[in-house]
Each structure stands twice: as C-alpha cells, then as structure tokens.
Amino acid sequence: MLPSMFRACGLFFLAAVCAANCFAQGIPPTAGETLTGKRVVVADEVRGHRAVLIAGFSHDGGVRSSAWVKAIHADSAFAPIPVYQVAMLAAAPGFIRGVIKSGMRKGMSTEEQDHTIVLTEDEKPWQDFFQVSTDKDPYVLLIDAAGKVLWRGHGDHARLEPQLKAALP
C-alpha cells in the first residue's frame, strides 16, 4: 500500500510540474501600453483569434521588427490577421523610454500605434516565450486563437516571410 501511495504522489507531482511548465510556455500576462497610451495585456489582446506577434528586444531588433510589420502589411495574404509589434524596453532607463516611444510613433498610423505594445517589465519570460537567442534580431510568432504557436522565426523578413505565409491555416 505504501509504495502505491508514493507512486500516486509522484505522478501527482509530475503532473503539477508539467502543468506549471505548460503554463510558463504561454503568453506572459504582462501589462503594457500601446503607443496610443492604452493599457493592455498582450495575452488578452490576441485571445480568441489568430495573430502575428513581432518582437524586438533591442534597438536593432526593434528597427528590424518594423521592416517585418511593413512587409506583412504589404502582403494581402495577411490582411485578415492582426499584427502586433511588441517592443521590450525593460533595459532602457526610464527617462529615455518616452524618447524611444516618440521615435517609434513617427511615420506610424494611429492603427499601427494601437497595435504596437511597449513592455517595460518581465523581460526574461518574454525572451523565453519568443526563444530569444540574440537581441539583435526581430522575433516573429504566428499564434492560433488559443495562443498556441503555429510558426516561429527570427531574423530578416525577406528570407523568412515565405515560411510564415506557408504556415497560415
């Protein structure tokens, strides 16, 4: 009887660890702010529909993320899919963040600004979610309505956009 109880406890512990890891792999529940000033949580914004998330974790990654956004908006295959640009500014000093956001707004329509979310905390969970290996690259995810990642890539859009397009359901 005692060994079976230990086995049951072990299975329960294993299930709990798996559940925690599965939750940890989901979209982090970090609150951020759009460039239009609206407080949002990325997970809430994308819940219930497919979406493309494009993230930058440095100045270089952010600049190259913008090229991804422009390329996707220019391709009619992506027209029904919302595109969200995520800018991680946790490492930027607070007094510089306003200047960075101001520079990001230049040349963007209000709709694009409303789909650009600035995050200033939880950098590590976001790096884990996007599987960041270098902060110089932009990271791109195609997710389904449940938040499951259907496609992921990082780097320049010219080489990877056809792969993202092929992953569209």
> Over the stretch 36-76, which tens digit does the pLDDT of each residue have?
999 999 999 999 999 999 999 999 999 999 999 999 999 99
Q: What is the largest CA-CA distance in the chain?
A: 70
Mean pLDDT calculated for residue range 116-123? 97
Q: Which residues in 29-68 are b (16+ Cβ under 10 Å) and which e?
A: ebebebbeeeebebeebbeeebbbbbbbbbeebbebbbeb
Please tell me the distance from the alpha carbon of residue 148 to that of residue 22, in angstroms, as a whole number: 11
The residue length of the chain stands at 169
* Confidence (pLDDT) at 169: 77
Domains of the chain with CATH codes: 28-166 (3.40.30.10)
pTM for the full predicted model: 0.83
Which of the two residues, 15 and 119, has the higher pLDDT score? 119
> Over the stretch 67-83, which tens digit does the pLDDT of each residue have?
999 999 999 999 999 99
Within 13 Å, how many C-alpha atoms sit on residue 67's CB side?
A: 16
* Confidence (pLDDT) at 39: 98
Residues 101, 131 contacting (CB under 8 angstroms): no
Residue 1 has pLDDT above 70, yes or no: no
Mean pLDDT calculated for residue range 142-155? 95
Mean pLDDT calculated for residue range 162-168? 93
Grade residue 107 by pLDDT with cuts at 50, 70 and 90.
confident
Query: What are the tokens at 138?
Result: 């932009």
Residue 84: exposure state from Cβ atoms within 10 A (0-12, 13-18, ≥19): buried
Tally Cβ neighbours within 10 Å of residue 157: 20
* Confidence (pLDDT) at 25: 55
